[in-house]
Structure 1
Amino acid sequence: MDYYAIVHNDFDGTASAAVYARAVGSLPTKVFFTEPTKIHNLLKSLELRGIKKIMIADIGINQSTLNEILTQLNRLQTEGAEIEWFDHHVWKDEWKTKLREIGVTVYHDVTTCGAGVINKNLNPDDEVSSKLAKADCAVDIWLHDDPLGEKLRRIVESNKDFKWKEYLINKFYNGVIWDEEFEKILEDQVDREINGYSKLHKHIRVLEIDGRKVVVAVRWKGPPDISYASQYLMNRYNSIVFASVNGKSISFRSNIIDIRRFAEKLGGGGHPLAAGAGLNAPFWRKLLNKIGYRKPMLDWASSVVRNVIKEVGFVEYEKNIRKSS
């Protein structure tokens, strides 16, 4: 079967593409890795070139780009494409209704990860897919109940090249979940992480907002990964929120605060405990940061974070299990 796979550019997106491929019995003709803040632009530039099926997975929807997404999906379907969308981020019911009204098949379930949504709906009896999805969910939705997830996430993130993720999709599709190649990469990655932790203090600032501590960071190159670093820094500084910027976007993390509210205020979205939004820094601040002078970028990022938190407020996340739909 010929089809395009459009997935998030992380472990969950990679795993989602592999689980879907195993479910339909073939690898995608082409994989497009993207982000929720860019999906509308990708769809706008997408040409079918004879392809009649598109799967989208682990990509949430932002209110600010919804209309353009609907326009482009409608165009692609008019040109003959069948579209399936699998996701686990928080959606408004009206978004799902609008997609279904134009003919998109929507699988939405906030109780699992992207790969888990596909596994549950398309191939629940496939042992390899179930094992991969379980490991993926352990780190993607912060369950931390499967050690394999921490290992595989490091494997996926060890190389930012999309060709590497395509290579991994192929391996997972062929039933390889762990091997000697992965073991060697893991050893090297952990060594690099340990070295990286000692340098994190150069990239951060600790704020106090309404009596609570918040860590703001300017993104660094190399390990540790943002998720591991955020946990480390929040624990070290007794912080309840972690925010990081790279000049183009902002990411929020927390263990107790519904930080998706902050991301939504900035035009983004995500999970209640892990979310983000597009956020362009002034050019001169990005330039200074690039040459190693981080203070201007940290000043700007701290102001953005302080303002959005002051406006939205700290709201604790209620970990109630929501029904899938």
Structure 2
Amino acid sequence: MELQPRTDRRIVIITHNDLDGAAAAASYLRIVGVKPQDAVVLFAEPYNVDQVIDRLTPYLEPHTTVAFMDIGFNSQSTPRAIDRLRSAAVKDLEVEWYDHHVWAEEDVNAVQKLGARLFVDRSTCGAGVVIRYASKLYGVEVDDFMNRLEKAVCAADLWRWDDPLAPKLFRASTSPPDTRNGQWKEKLVEKFFNGVLWDDELQARLEGYLKEELANSSAELKNSYSASSNGCVIASVVRDSDLPSDSILGSMLVSRAHANAAALIKRKGFRRVSLSLRSRGGANVQVIARRLGGGGHPRASGASIILPLHVALLGMISRKYIAKYVSQRLLEVAMATGACKSTADAGGQGNSM
């Protein structure tokens, strides 16, 4: 695919490690006319973006643009990442940030102090923010493929499911068991960059995923636990596998437990666990995640917590002890913040900051 280069700068992209992040990166590269092999594309989560910057800064070259995509503000990692970039001794370093998650005013100010161009639009997905605002920034007309890509990816990422390709892309974007996740996401970026929305390789991955999803989901749901108070129900489960995805298993758990929200728990050490929070509108999980130092948007957010020592020890005997603790902890936060009452998944107006 031949595109007219719109910049002679070195392009470094730090994007979310999911379908939306891959689509955002590919869209940006199409807009600036830089091939994936001529750019650096790194996948990250909001909670570890500072670690990515630490690995990156020694190799930054003069006249570089660092573009963050589909990465929300994390109260712990984002300030550290900003400090690293601010102190980087790189001539003519530019920073762009495209996101669709919830940003507090102080978060916006912190990023803008870096001199970054910040674009936040909650009415679309991360790829949509890139397509809408990077195209204006670089004076590029959005083509039919990018419009089609935005529609399919946003339908999956925002849980609207109003596009027939959305559930297929959502599942197929998960890496095959014999492929490194980052390598598969890089392949997705290349496909989308070249105008490929679906092909035989993605179809084969979809078929493999569906087999794994069916085999794993029933086994994992057996170890779930739910806690309730005043009509608010939080269900949790400790995960052993990456399949089905957190979003799909979370939807199953919400239905099975008649829950306002679900927490998918993964152990990141003896006491630290990561939480993927999912809701279908019964709770604003972004409010819960933010109270725990994480973030996201009303129906899909993430955070991490440290388990009490006794819970971590009991968790070695049965994972249900961990699920019970997390459900009760999140229920307390939900009740304290009114999250179960904040069910409106407000889109918000686009804005350039």
Is the pair's TM-score, using the shorter chain for normalization, greater than 0.5?
yes
Q: Tell me the TM-score normalised to structure 2 length.
A: 0.84
State yes or no: 1:219 paired with 2:239: yes
SS of equivalent residue, structure 1 residue 134 = helix
Change (3 A) 1:66 1:49: closer
CA contact (8 A) 2:299 2:345 kept: no
Report the counterpart of residue 142 of structure 2 in structure 1: 125
State yes or no: 1:109 paired with 2:121: yes
* CA deviation string 1:24-54 (max 9, x = no partner): 1112532211111111232234224426121
* CA deviation string 1:175-217 (max 9, x = no partner): 1111111112111211221222321332311222223332111
Change (3 A) 1:64 1:195: same
Report the counterpart of residue 333 of structure 2 in structure 1: 308
Change (3 A) 1:65 1:179: closer
Report the counterpart of residue 13 of structure 1 in structure 2: 21
CA contact (8 A) 1:88 1:111 kept: yes
User: Structure 1: how far apart are the matches of 2:231 and 2:319?
Assistant: 26
- What pairs up with 1:172-211 in 2 under 5 angstroms? 172-211=192-231
CA contact (8 A) 1:203 1:220 kept: no
- What pairs up with 1:229-248 in 2 under 5 angstroms? 229-247=249-267, 248=273
- What pairs up with 1:155-170 in 2 under 5 angstroms? 155-159=172-176, 161-170=181-190
Report the counterpart of residue 154 of structure 2 in structure 1: 137
Report the counterpart of residue 281 of structure 1 in structure 2: 307
CA contact (8 A) 1:138 1:149 kept: yes
User: Structure 1: how far apart are the matches of 2:69 and 2:24?
Assistant: 6
Change (3 A) 1:66 1:158: closer
Report the counterpart of residue 85 of structure 2 in structure 1: 73
* CA deviation string 1:59-98 (max 9, x = no partner): 0002344432332232247543111111110112333234
User: Structure 1: how far apart are the matches of 2:166 and 2:311?
Assistant: 36
Report the counterpart of residue 251 of structure 1 in structure 2: 276
After superposing on structure 2, the runs of 4+ consecutive aligned residues of structure 1 that deviate more than 6 Å are: none
State yes or no: 1:32 paired with 2:57: no
Report the counterpart of residue 292 of structure 2 in structure 1: 266
CA contact (8 A) 2:102 2:122 kept: yes
Change (3 A) 1:292 1:229: farther
Unmatched tracts of structure 2, length 5 or more = 1-7, 268-272
Q: How many residue pairs align between the two structures? A: 324
SS of equivalent residue, structure 1 residue 147 = coil
Q: Tell me the TM-score normalised to structure 1 length.
A: 0.91
State yes or no: 1:297 paired with 2:322: yes
User: Structure 2: how far apart are the matches of 1:238 and 1:124?
Assistant: 45
SS of equivalent residue, structure 1 residue 224 = coil
State yes or no: 1:92 paired with 2:87: no
Shift of 1:103: 1.5
Range 82-91 or range 116-125, more displaced: 116-125
Report the counterpart of residue 50 of structure 1 in structure 2: 61
Change (3 A) 1:286 1:124: farther
* CA deviation string 1:122-175 (max 9, x = no partner): 155222222122111111111211121211111111335201111111111111
